[in-house]
């Protein structure tokens, strides 16, 4: 199964993908995680995109498409994947159609005030990317990842000015993909404001996985 996760920043794409990927036996491919790993490792790509990520801007399509093309060629991505955060523009969606068309695009609907609240309280593991929230999904030991013992930190783009830019970019560049996939009969829309388990249950029901 080839799935795309759509939705504004903070909609819970990464959180639900972390539940869905092991359940479905699919790799969870997050372009944001791939870019953050490149920044951390100070690769040529990482050095190019570091400032863009911190400000909340979008990485140019050309670089993003090349990164995804390379990742989808890996052996674990042959029979399916969950793409989280890609495509994010119409040219990216067109490129994916040429590379490997998705079966469904799952759109998580969450109001702006909810995503702003979630992002300003999010923490993530610097080493493995596991997602936490200081309000309701804390690591057992403060600042230490439950999964790998890595450092739990606040993402550079979870500051007020970057969150605003990300939401603006989402509205302008990414939200049009909802109709783009809708008109191709591939769109599934899920309310993303319940707790993570409730949203995951709605996701399974929408895909007919509870039968
Ligand atoms: P990316 O990492 O994809 O960031 P994003 O799209 O802004 O999305 P987020 O990761 O912020 O939100 P999410 O929906 O995954 O929410 P999460 O599950 O963490 O991209 C980062 C940057 O990389 C971009 O800004 C851009 O610069 C670049 N980039 C990436 N892809 C690109 C592309 N295709 N083209 C160009 N540039 C690209 O949840 C958020 C918080 O809410 C967490 O604390 C979580 O614990 C909590 N939470 C989640 N679900 C629930 C729930 N149901 N109930 C309560 N709390 C919840
Ligand atoms: Mg994410």
Query: How do residues 123-143 score in pLDDT, each as one tens digit?
Result: 999 999 999 999 999 999 999
Q: In this predicted model, what pLDDT tens digit does every residue of 64-120 receive, in sequence order?
A: 999 999 999 999 999 899 999 999 999 999 999 999 999 999 999 999 999 999 999
Enumerate the active-site residues: 13, 88, 122, 155, 166
Give, in degrees to the nearest 5, the angle at Cα 131 between 144 and 25. 115
- Report whether pLDDT(157) > 70: yes
Tell me what pLDDT residue 211 has. 58
Report the distance separating Cα 146 and Cα 143, nearest Å: 10
The whole model's pTM is what?
0.97
The answer to whether the peptide bond before residue 87 is cis (omega within 30 degrees of 0) is yes
- Report whether pLDDT(169) > 80: yes
Which residues make beta-bridge pairs with 152?
125
Report the distance separating Cα 56 and Cα 169, nearest Å: 8
State if residue 91 touches ligand 1 by the CB under 6 angstroms criterion: no
**200 Cα to the center of ligand 1, angstroms:** 16
Ligand 1 pocket, mutate which of 4, 5, 14 (most atoms under 8 A from CB) = 14
Cβ pair 82, 28 in contact under 8 A: yes
Q: Which ligand ends up closest to the CA of 35? A: 1
Structural domains of the chain ordered from first start? 2-206 (3.40.50.300)
Ligand 1 pocket, mutate which of 7, 12, 139 (most atoms under 8 A from CB) = 12
Q: Which ligand ends up closest to the CA of 131? A: 1
> Residue 209 — very low, low, confident or very high, per pLDDT cuts 50/70/90?
confident
Tokens standing for 192?
Answer: 């993303």
For atom 17 of ligand 1, the residue with the nearest CA is 12
Report the distance separating Cα 91 and Cα 71, nearest Å: 18
Tokens standing for 171?
Answer: 């509205």
Tokens standing for 33?
Answer: 């995680």
Tell me what pLDDT residue 146 has. 98
Report the distance separating Cα 81 and Cα 87, nearest Å: 13
């Amino acid at each position: 199964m080839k799935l795309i996760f759509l939705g504004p920043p903070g909609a819970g794409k990464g959180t639900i993908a972390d539940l869905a990927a092991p359940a479905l036996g699919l790799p969870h491919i997050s372009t944001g995680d791939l870019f953050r790993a490149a920044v951390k490792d100070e690769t040529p790509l990482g050095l190019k995109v570091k400032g863009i990520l911190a400000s909340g801007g979008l990485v140019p399509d050309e670089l993003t498409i090349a990164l995804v093309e390379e990742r989808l060629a890996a052996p674990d991505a042959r029979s399916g994947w969950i793409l989280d955060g890609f495509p994010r523009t119409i040219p990216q969606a067109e490129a994916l159609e040429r590379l490997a068309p998705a079966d469904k695009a799952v759109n998580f609907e969450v109001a702006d005030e909810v995503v702003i609240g979630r992002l300003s309280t999010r923490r993530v593991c610097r080493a493995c990317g596991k997602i936490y929230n200081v309000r309701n999904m804390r690591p057992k030991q403060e600042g230490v990842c439950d999964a790998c013992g890595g450092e739990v930190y606040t993402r550079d783009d979870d500051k007020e000015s970057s969150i605003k830019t990300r939401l603006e970019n989402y509205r302008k560049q990414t939200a049009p993909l909802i109709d783009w996939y809708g008109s191709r009969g591939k769109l599934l829309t899920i309310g993303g404001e319940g707790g993570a388990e409730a949203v995951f249950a709605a996701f399974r029901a929408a895909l007919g996985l509870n039968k």
